[in-house]
Copies of this chain bind each other. A is one copy, B any other.
Amino acid sequence: MGDVIATYQVYARPGSLEKKAEDIALGLTIGSWTALPLLEQKQLLKHKGRVTALQEFYDDEHPNRFGEVRCEISIAYPTYNFTFDIPAILTTVFGKLSLDGEVKLLNLEFDNEDLSRFPGPKFGIKNIRSKLNIQDRPLLMSIFKGIIGRDIHFLREQLRDQAMGGVDIVKDDEILFDVNISFEDRIIAGKEILDEVYEKTGKRTLYAVNLSGRTMDLVDKAKHASELGADALLFNVHTYGLDMLQTLAENNEVQLPIMAHPAYSGAYTSSNFYGVAPDLLLGNLTRLAGADFSLFPSPYGSVAMEKEKTLAIARQLTEENGLNQAFPVPSAGIHPGLVPLLYHDFGNDCIINAGGGVHGHPEGAAAGVRAFRQAIDHVIQQNTHRATKAQELEAALAKWGGTS
């Protein structure tokens, strides 16, 4: 058993931070040190938090507090102090501390032995690519639109349209719950439609169905989805907690890739001064807990995140750490004209995810999907030879613009 190293951002006057850092390291572990008798120090040493790094960035001043600069503190927390579950880890490293003024949790590092105690993605990029038999390009995903209040026929039509266009994955909207159309009915209808399209076109489309409801029902629902032949689960993990994602990922009767939706995560990743860094939450922890896909705002769309932050998320999802890789899914406001930028930033192993950019195509959703597929092909082919743009893509570029 090793340490979990947590890195924090705080602002302080240069040279003033050492004591505060030591206080955190002690306060979140054994409480006090210097006052203890030598024998007790010896007994408690393996439980003691230690400051392992302290950096001051002199040119990065606080926007509102004169003389304070950005600092990063790293503290090693012995895993002896907690059961190895995410709630215990988060409580230890950022429980009380999250309430203690301007401090942001930037990252958590685990040694290799501890990393292997997390499930990671059950399928990961490699197995999802095999499922779809697509190796050499980003995948394309589209989203149902305006499904709330509609019936199963409306869903079937939309799903058929998107699949007929040749999309790789269709996902439920994250705000679609099991009211008008039940979870089970969506899975059954999805399977029927997608099998029918496969017979017609030879193209396999996966459907990620929104797993929602009460915490204690999720595992049974996920198992049932697995039995019914669902393709993948969408999961609003941040309204349940990362441990629930891990629970689903670890369950062997849930043989489905899990797509982590970032709903509600902005509540604790958006501030530059408080909360948790987006790449830690939507990258590192989401992957460790077992998501096969992680959605996050792209740098270009309607709901935008800074490019640097999105690249850090993608890095945490895909870098070598002994666990399967998870697909980065930069999302929101994506149209075909953005495909070259997304490809440039995220490379081959990402998912192009579009809602309005598919459904808003002048010739309908199937054409919208084709425009995206053409944009993807075009950007891939540009690497090898001069490609000509196809008709649906031209129409999309005329509507939304872009550099494809």
Contacts and interface: CB of A to CB of B under 8 A. Distances in A.
A81 B175 contact: yes
Interface stretch (A269-277, A314-322, A363-371): A269-277
Contacts of A46: 149
Interface string A329-343: 000100000000000
A88 interface: yes
A247 B216 contact: yes
Interface stretch (A23-31, A116-124, A184-192, A376-384): A23-31
A39 interface: no
A297 interface: yes
Contact of A275 (B91, B241, B274, B332): B274
A100 B303 contact: yes
Given A96-B303, A100-B303, A239-B91, A82 B177 contact: yes
B241 A215 contact: yes
Nearest to A49: B148
A401 interface: no
A15 interface: no
A109 to B, nearest CB: 19
A243 interface: yes
A347 interface: no
Interface residues of A, number: 73
Copies of this protein chain in the complex? 2
A45 to B, nearest CB: 9
B297 A213 contact: no
Contacts of A276: 267
A20 interface: no
Contacts of A267: 94, 98, 105, 268, 274-276
Contacts of A275: 267-268, 270-271, 274-275
Interface in A122-154: 145-146, 148-149
B146 A31 contact: yes
Contacts of A64: 63
Contact of A83 (B81, B96, B212, B240): B212
A31 B213 CA distance: 22
A46, A243, A247: residue with the most chain B Cβ atoms closer than 10 Å: A243
Interface in A242-276: 243-244, 247, 261-271, 273-276
A297 B99 contact: yes
Given A31-B145, A100-B303, A241-B244, 19 more contacts: A43-B149, A44-B149, A47-B148, A63-B64, A82-B179, A83-B213, A87-B213, A88-B177, A91-B239, A95-B239, A98-B264, A99-B265, A99-B305, A214-B243, A214-B247, A216-B219, A266-B274, A268-B268, A270-B274
Q: Which 3 A-B pairs have the closest CB atoms?
A: A95-B263, A98-B266, A99-B266
